[in-house]
Amino acid sequence: MQNNKYYWGLIIFFLLMTISSLVIGSSTEEFWTAIKNEDYQKAAEVGKIIGKTIPEYYYLAGICFQNISCYEEYAVYRNNYLQLGNPIKLREILLEQEIQNPDSPQILLLKGIIAELYPELGLGISKEFLEQAKSQLEANPYVFNYLGFHEMNNSNYSEVARKHIEQAIILKPDLPEAYNNLAVILNYNQQPEKALNMLFISLKKCPNNPVNIYYNIIGLKAFEVVLVISPCDGGGGTYSISTPGLDVAFRERLKQEFKDTPIHLLKLAECFVKWNNPKEAEALLEGAHIDQNSILNKYINFRIQNLYGNYDEMVVLAQEILASKDLDYQRLFECGNILFHMEEFDLANAFYEASLTNVNPDDFLYLLKIYSNLGASNYCLQDEETAILYFEKALNYNPSDLITLENLGLAYRNKGDKVKAREYFIKVLEYTDDSRTQERVNIYLEQLDD
């Protein structure tokens, strides 16, 4: 009877394995059908699901997200592939599809895009794939955009590159990468005003724009200024810094340009707070029709008050941001980091927890960061049990993360568990060749023997 149970167990096991293989096969077929139909939205959604089993599809999903101008998603799934995927297997998947579908221009296009963005993969010369795809896809904007981008990557900013990009814009007037690429070409050819207008058009015509559009607008007109700041998270110090600034005329031009779309002024102001220039951020928003209760405005003001060293104003804004629960997880995480460096560990904890509640469940990089920082803030609150719990969760997303491993060793050391502390300190040494880290961790190990 026991053998009979074992026999039936094997049947069930192999049946489940067969069903699993069929599901994966069906999903991959659905992905490639969506690619051939130029349905990047569907391909992206299917690809990110397949990626849980075949990590190389995370990268393919990321490319599809980029084609539909979902840039944060592109970064998420590209990072997942870089952590979990295998370049050799990704290359094999693409070569297999080309063999199975030799006449599919969409697969040639996808291969050309990846060859351009990921030359280390060794697929070949992207231009050759793109030209082959173009012969059948004369109305496809991505072919022309990437042909132009290929020329730019080879330091060719000539009429050939410009015409490719312009054709992409004609075919898809809401493709932000094309406007950005054309702006680069125009600026290289000594036409900064036309370049600037291209970036303005992108912000007005394209629903989603990559953040480098904002940085490029500033870069075309900014000059260096020197400021003195005393940030709340600066350890009580006063710092003289060099940072980009704008003249009054261009600042007013920006306000006029985006008077009906203040979200762009907010995002430009955010660039300046990231550059530690609170004065320029304030000046950009002054007099503009900004909703003072908008969560992005409060976040930027929180950053401004930090750089000015206005602790009380920061804390009030922090509480308002937490109460709204509307800020995205990346910005919530940044608020938590600022408060952590101010040694406001309870408040930092609250921001990390809030970030965790609305994080993209596929964003393994941020999940690692959030859990690791939750561990660090609880460690600083001398709650080693909770800290260890969070550090161990962080390692689920990257078992070789040095900061988490070291902190986990410290938490176990403080808890009195020398065996576990030693285990994690030794793992740090196994994963790093940084001499300062090795020296520090070896001191921890010696202290365990005292």
Quick: pLDDT tens for 223-282: 999 999 999 999 889 999 999 999 999 999 999 999 999 999 999 999 999 999 999 999
Distance separating alpha carbons of residues 343 and 348, to the nearest angstrom: 8
* This prediction's pTM: 0.90
Q: Which two tokens stand for residue 174?
A: 């809401």
Residues 6+ apart with CB under 8 A from 79: 363, 364, 365
What's the pLDDT score for residue 325?
Answer: 80
Count of CB atoms situated within 10 Å of the CB of 214 = 19
Distance separating alpha carbons of residues 269 and 277, to the nearest angstrom: 9
CA 179 to chain centre: 21
Distance separating alpha carbons of residues 194 and 311, to the nearest angstrom: 43
Is-same-fold flag (148-208; 359-450)?
Answer: yes
Distance separating alpha carbons of residues 184 and 11, to the nearest angstrom: 61
Q: Which two tokens stand for residue 160?
A: 């050939």
What's the pLDDT score for residue 15?
Answer: 45
Crossing angle of helices 311-324/295-308, nearest 10°? Answer: 160
pLDDT, tens digit, 9 for 90 and up, residues 299-320: 999 999 999 999 999 999 999 9
CA 190 to chain centre: 32
Q: Is the confidence at residue 409, as pLDDT, over 80? A: yes
- Which fold does the domain 359-450 belong to in CATH? 1.25.40
Partners of 243 in beta bridges: 225
Specify the CATH architecture of the domain 148-208.
Answer: Alpha Horseshoe (1.25)
Task: Summarize the confidence of residues 326-354 as an average pLDDT.
Answer: 97
What's the pLDDT score for residue 288?
Answer: 87
- Can you tell me whether residue 276 is helix, strand or coil? coil
The residue assigned the tokens 């000046």 is 283
What's the pLDDT score for residue 25?
Answer: 53
Distance separating alpha carbons of residues 74 and 65, to the nearest angstrom: 5
Q: Is the confidence at residue 2, as pLDDT, over 60? A: no
Distance separating alpha carbons of residues 168 and 179, to the nearest angstrom: 9
For residues 216 and 182, the answer to whether their CB atoms sit within 8 Å is: no
What's the pLDDT score for residue 24?
Answer: 52
Long-range contacts of 183-192 (CB under 8 A, 24+ apart): 183/216, 184/152, 184/157, 184/216, 185/148, 185/152, 185/157, 185/161, 186/162, 187/220, 188/157, 189/157, 192/220
**DSSP letter, residue 328:** -
Q: Where are the domains of the chain?
A: 148-208, 359-450
What's the pLDDT score for residue 6?
Answer: 45
